[in-house]
Amino acid sequence: EQVLGETHPDVAWSLNNLALVYQAQGNYAKAESLIRRSLQIRKQELGEQHPDVAVSLEILATLYQDQGNYVEAEPLYQQSLQIREQALGEHDPAVGASLNNLAGLYVAQGNYAGAEPLHHRSLQISEQALGENHPNVARNLISLATLYVAQENYPRAASLYQRSLQISEQALGENHPDVAISLNGLAIVYQYQGNDAAAEPLIQRALRIREQALGENHPDVAGSLENLAALYFSQRNYTQAETLMQRSLRISEQALGENHLDLASSLHNLSWLYQFRAIILKRFPPSTEVSLSKKLI
């Protein structure tokens, strides 16, 4: 700001990056203020149809989506997509990214019919522009797999996660954080299919990758801990599930702050575990000789 002036496009770039930090911390009000200032600078200095304007629009859209404000997010995603198509061409990878983001919003809204063609178009753009074994293709496959999980099409989802895993391992190495994303997704599919034996080693491997690559106190580590806790909970291993949930909660509190939405989710899950365990102990005290597995529906 001192060297270039407060309205220089490079200032907008710095504002965007700082806003992303606040967004990750759950400080949405501060993040929105910075993104809006960045957006204003770019519109004034570069023109309203510049690709950099699309970037700020998408960041603002993700901010609203994170807060569950889908009504505000959707037109921003659509505007960003329109700018990129006109400025860069319909087959540019940035257009694919916009399609993927808009599709993700539709999935969050339960609009699967609207999401699927966008995901497929985004995947096609990435494959044609970058090659079928590019890491971005793996990320597209993960997004499409997430849609199929939501639709309970588990065989199709598993196939996509497996392909994304193979691409990420070959392109990025077996210990890259992107590999952990595919592992977690595939493990969740196996859990839905009732195959806990196949799911557990995948979640544990994803956890190890994230701890080594990102550090033991990274928010993504908390996510893997929650996934593993959910697996143990489904196996009625409540003590181990509680330990993992508590560790996940501590990480989220330290990394994200006490007002982040992910922290609320962790608190809800831990509270639900306590309530469920209390009900079980009341109905089936430790002295009960009848197996819980035969009593629980």
Q: What CATH class has 153-212?
A: mainly alpha
How far is 199 from 116, CA to CA, in rounded Å?
Answer: 26
Whether 153-212 and 215-297 share one fold: the answer is yes
Q: Considering the domain 215-297, what is its CATH architecture?
A: Alpha Horseshoe (1.25)
Domain extent listing, the chain: 1-130, 153-212, 215-297
How far is 212 from 232, CA to CA, in rounded Å?
Answer: 23
232's tokens: 């143990």
Task: State whether the Cα torsion 20-22-24-28 is positive or negative.
Answer: negative
pLDDT in 10s for each residue of the chain, 297 residues:
555 678 888 899 999 999 999 988 888 999 999 999 999 999 999 999 999 999 999 999 999 999 999 999 999 999 999 999 999 999 999 999 999 999 999 999 999 999 999 999 999 999 999 999 999 999 999 999 999 999 999 999 999 999 999 999 999 999 999 999 999 999 999 999 999 999 999 999 999 999 999 999 998 999 999 999 999 988 889 889 989 989 988 888 887 666 556 655 554 555 545 554 454 444 434 443 333 333 333
Instruction: Please say whether the beta carbons of 53 and 40 come within 8 A.
Output: no
Q: Which fold has domain 1-130?
A: 1.25.40
Give the residue from 278, 226, 276 showing the smallest Cα distance to 250. 226
Instruction: Please say whether the beta carbons of 253 and 236 come within 8 A.
Output: no
